A = this chain, B = another copy of it.
Amino acid sequence: MRERRLTSWKIGGEQGQGIDSTGEMLAIVCNRLGYYIYGYRQFSSRIKGGHSNYKIRIGTEPVASTCSDVDILVAIDQETIDRNHHELVPGSVVVADAHFEPVLPEDSPARLLSVPLTRIAQDVGSPVMRNVVSLGVSAYLLGLPLDAFKEVVLEKFGRKSREVGQQNLAALEQGYAHAKEHLPAPSWRLAPGDGKRRLVMMGNDAVALGAAAAGCRFCAAYPITPASEIMETLMSILPRYGGVVVQAEDEISAITSCIGAGFAGARAITATAGPGISLMQEAIGLAHMTEVPIVIVDTQRGGPSTGMPTKHEQSDLWALLFGTHGDTPRIVLAPSTVEEAFYDTAQAFNLADRYQCPVVIASDLSLALNKQTVDGLDLSRVQIDRGHLLNDDEIAQAAESAGFRRYRVTESGISPRPLPGQPQGQYLATGSEHNEFGKVSEDPKNRVAQMDKRLRKVPSDPAQMGLTGIKYTGPEAPELLLIGIGSTYGPIDDARRLLEAEGYRVGHAHVRVLAPLPFKELADLMEQAQRVIVAENNAQGQLAALIEHRVGVALRERGATMPEVHRLLKYDGTPFLPAEIAADAREVTSYAQAG
């Protein structure tokens, strides 16, 4: 039988019908067998009902994006077929519950396999187990060992009661048996996995773990999709280490509590999405002005306002950079994979402590919620750097009769910091303009000195902060440069491979630090490139505008010409497919050749 190294499986049905848990179980099985997976859930802002689906790409090598193809579609209802059949490719199959008398469009390249999922489930106990039956069928079709599934099903349902576990086990086995007996033999099977149990996580898990690993012991947040899991996970971890997690009454309270905790020297985090970011804007300015370190996670979703709470988007970039009133320097990290979300979060705490200001992690819904295989996370790479804190002796030496100069104007702009509880370090941290002692001051000279100090302390280039500003793959002087941020890494990388295979000299520069923007590195790359495409998930080209500005100025200063920045914008709530990006790239380059 033909072996495939990559396939794509999808299940769909009504929200509340176990769509999610079926996908989760398959993901775990695959992981345990040593495959790489990428999961993509589509769901809506309601609890039960409404179409929902879960696609899992499974491969023997890392999979970094979703795709538009489906090889196996499990349909719990007709709506699943209606909404997803366009993804079916030649040779694909639809496993549909016979119960609803499934119909496949005539011109579909797929083959319909009608399976009495509900009936089998009913026979072993209850129709709700139809999804587990479908998992048995899927095991057969994918050519994966049933035992691996048994283990996972038992783990999941055995917890509730032995009986429930056994029933689900039966459902699984009956599904497998039915498929083996009644379905045509599959034309392919997955090449065997390498048997290594890697990690299957979503970005929110990685952020929570990164925080815990970095010594964060305080979290205050307010529930919101798609950020809630960060608080929930920390709620289960931090108490073991003397940490505290508070579900605040709103986002303003959440971030202000973090400022209180940060002032006290604890590492504090809050996580939210667009509406929360907008509400936090005033307090973000407070953290800048008082120079209190905190970490803020924004899991971007469809905006503006309530927007599309369960849909992916990257449209808070401007708000994160320019959102609070007044002049503040920003640090915004942009992890592009689950793995990076872990290290970036840990790093964010170091940066916050070092530069004494809020640090933002710009995540997005796809990164936050889509499960990805991670090879491993290395705790030893997480080093805690508290920045310039003073010990009691240093404070005693520095303290003057007028008090301690908390906001001493230094060359670097960073002023050494005492913490409450340390003798003689008492000072006033205020959101009002203040002098070196922290006392409120409206003196014009002092104002300029303090403003300059605050603006100066954050370097203008991520390289000066020891950060990788750009993750670049491609030749030295690409004719075409693809630029993206956040979770678009996977699809852009896949598109790059596609294009490369077609002979294009294409590079992919992924922006890993949004602020300070690595404009020099970008300028180096763009100076060489003939065409530049910025692919991002928002309607206004927020990243493109920033690049256009900063790189434009840098290139003009070098006397170089700025290539046109072509915008590839997708803002319909779904992530990019690699094929879409590749198609756009071909068009842009052909236009270039024609033009």
A556 contacts B545, C-beta separation under 8 Å: no
Interface membership of A588, Cβ < 8 A: no
Distance to closest chain B CB from A37 (angstroms):
24
Interface membership of A199, Cβ < 8 A: no
Given A281-B279, A289-B305, A308-B432, A539-B455 contact (CB < 8 Å)? yes
Given A305-B282, A539-B455, A322-B323 contact (CB < 8 Å)? yes
Interface membership of A285, Cβ < 8 A: yes
Interface membership of A194, Cβ < 8 A: no
Interface membership of A421, Cβ < 8 A: no
Residues of chain B contacted by A315 (CB below 8 angstroms): 325-327
Tell me which residues from 574 to 593 in chain A have a Cβ below 8 Å from any Cβ of chain B. 574
- Taking chain A's interface residues, is the majority helix, strand, or loop, or is none over half, making it mixed? mixed
Interface membership of A278, Cβ < 8 A: yes
Interface membership of A184, Cβ < 8 A: no
> How far does the alpha carbon of A322 sit from the alpha carbon of B290 in the complex, in Å?
23
Given A279-B279, A442-B44, A316-B325 contact (CB < 8 Å)? yes
Interface membership of A463, Cβ < 8 A: no
Interface membership of A91, Cβ < 8 A: no
B571 contacts A448, C-beta separation under 8 Å: yes
B574 contacts A302, C-beta separation under 8 Å: no
Residues of chain B contacted by A455 (CB below 8 angstroms): 539-540
Interface membership of A464, Cβ < 8 A: no
Distance to closest chain B CB from A329 (angstroms):
8
> How far does the alpha carbon of A307 sit from the alpha carbon of B455 in the complex, in Å?
15
Q: Which of A28-36, A207-215, A337-345, A547-555 contacts B (4 or more CB under 8 A)?
A: A547-555
Interface membership of A401, Cβ < 8 A: no
Distance to closest chain B CB from A321 (angstroms):
7
B573 contacts A307, C-beta separation under 8 Å: no
> How far does the alpha carbon of A452 sit from the alpha carbon of B539 in the complex, in Å?
8
Number of interface residues of A (CB under 8 A): 68
B318 contacts A289, C-beta separation under 8 Å: no
> How far does the alpha carbon of A325 sit from the alpha carbon of B571 in the complex, in Å?
14
Interface membership of A122, Cβ < 8 A: no
Interface membership of A354, Cβ < 8 A: no
B326 contacts A307, C-beta separation under 8 Å: yes
CB-contact partner of A447 in B304, B325, B573, under 8 A: B573
A274 contacts B325, C-beta separation under 8 Å: yes
Distance to closest chain B CB from A398 (angstroms):
26
CB-contact partner of A305 in B303, B318, B431, B549, under 8 A: B431
A442 contacts B322, C-beta separation under 8 Å: no
A322 contacts B321, C-beta separation under 8 Å: yes
Q: Beta-carbon contacts of A297-312 to B below 8 Å, as 1s and 0s? A: 0001011111111110
CB-contact partner of A304 in B288, B442, B545, B548, under 8 A: B288
A572 contacts B448, C-beta separation under 8 Å: yes
A430 contacts B306, C-beta separation under 8 Å: yes
Nearest to A546 among chain B residues (CB) is B549
A432 contacts B573, C-beta separation under 8 Å: no
Given A285-B305, A304-B288, A433-B307, A278-B444 contact (CB < 8 Å)? no
Given A322-B318, A325-B315, A285-B289 contact (CB < 8 Å)? no
Given A45-B432, A442-B45, A445-B572, A325-B304 contact (CB < 8 Å)? yes
Interface membership of A562, Cβ < 8 A: yes
Nearest to A540 among chain B residues (CB) is B327
Residues of chain B contacted by A539 (CB below 8 angstroms): 327, 451-452, 455
B432 contacts A307, C-beta separation under 8 Å: yes
B326 contacts A447, C-beta separation under 8 Å: no
Nearest to A282 among chain B residues (CB) is B278
Interface membership of A396, Cβ < 8 A: no
The CB with the most chain B CB atoms within 10 A, among A282, A307, A442, is that of: A442
Distance to closest chain B CB from A467 (angstroms):
21
Residues of chain B contacted by A326 (CB below 8 angstroms): 274, 302-305, 307, 313, 315-316, 319
Q: Beta-carbon contacts of A264-308 to B below 8 Å, as 1s and 0s? A: 000000000011011101101110111000000000101111111
Closest 9 CB pairs of A and B: A303-B326, A304-B326, A274-B325, A305-B431, A444-B572, A318-B322, A549-B549, A285-B304, A278-B282
11 residue pairs A–B, Cβ–Cβ below 8 Å: A274-B326, A278-B285, A278-B324, A279-B281, A289-B306, A302-B326, A303-B327, A304-B328, A305-B326, A327-B539, A552-B556
User: Assuming A308-B433, A322-B323, what are 19 further A-B pairs, CB within 8 angstroms?
Assistant: A275-B325, A277-B325, A278-B285, A279-B282, A281-B319, A285-B305, A302-B326, A303-B324, A304-B327, A305-B431, A308-B432, A308-B442, A308-B447, A318-B321, A327-B540, A444-B573, A447-B572, A451-B571, A548-B549
